[in-house]
Amino acid sequence: MTKNILITGGSRGIGLGIAIALAKMGCALAINGRRSAKEVQKTIEDLREYGNKVVYCQGDIASPQDRDNIISETIKALGQIDVLVNNAGVAPEKRLDLLGTTPESYDRVMETNLKGPFFLTQKIANHMIANPQNPEGIKGCIINISSVSANMASPERSEYCLSKAGIAMMTKLFAVRLGEHHIPVFEVRPGIIETDMTSGVIKKYQDLIQQGLTLQPRLGQPEDVGKAVAALVEGKFPYGTGQVLMVDGGLHIPRF
């Protein structure tokens, strides 16, 4: 049974790792991103090599109009949305001390990382309620990709931490509201993953990992997150709505 899945920010980094894992499962994918279709053409073609339908829906989830377009294009291409993976996110353009964080940076990060996913999820949740299952009886779910920054404080990127803490609560809120409709909602919380977002500080993280920052002495990879999301999409946790799945090599475990 093919599941129709919308992945925001799915053309690179963690989102692409998720897309590859789900393409291997045989899912039909709508990949969202801000880049032009021409810029991601090779990526989309590579995903199609796994044999299922893959479409690209360009748009910025921070934009209300773009959110509507992303949803309508996905439904037009795939028929309906069975699974939403909220992955798109941005880091602050400059890492500023908490006492110097600007309203402009705060708004930019929050619009993309929290407000956009919240209202995208709201619309898609209503779509899922109106279409409880497709003709093959496929059950849907919602998966939010957050970060260990949801509960680990980094004063030099406070707006990012706040946005991810908001995603954690958003997961709980939608899990509570959608429980009666049998739509599970999950949070996947990655640790230090090697992507373009972390490339500027990757040497710092590598050194910290060698010093014992994580229990597993390596950087996380996008495919690590992809495998976790695939398990949720496959229905491996049918009685676990609202739960957090840590993909951080043990980073979150307090030690002394």
> For 41-88, how does the pLDDT look when each residue is reduced to its tens digit (9 = 90+)?
999 999 999 999 999 999 999 999 999 999 999 999 999 999 999 999
Residue 27's nearest CA partner among 114, 138, 124 is 138
pLDDT at residue 139 in the model: 76
User: Is 133's pLDDT higher than 70?
Assistant: no
How far is Cα 60 from Cα 253, in angstroms, rounded to an integer?
35
How far is Cα 123 from Cα 223, in angstroms, rounded to an integer?
28
User: Higher-confidence residue: 203 or 153?
Assistant: 153
Question: What's the whole-model pTM score?
Answer: 0.95
Residues with a known catalytic role: 160
Task: Order the strands of the 4-7 sheet from edge to edge.
Answer: 54-58, 28-33, 4-7, 83-86, 141-145, 185-190, 244-247
How far is Cα 60 from Cα 129, in angstroms, rounded to an integer?
25
DSSP 113: I
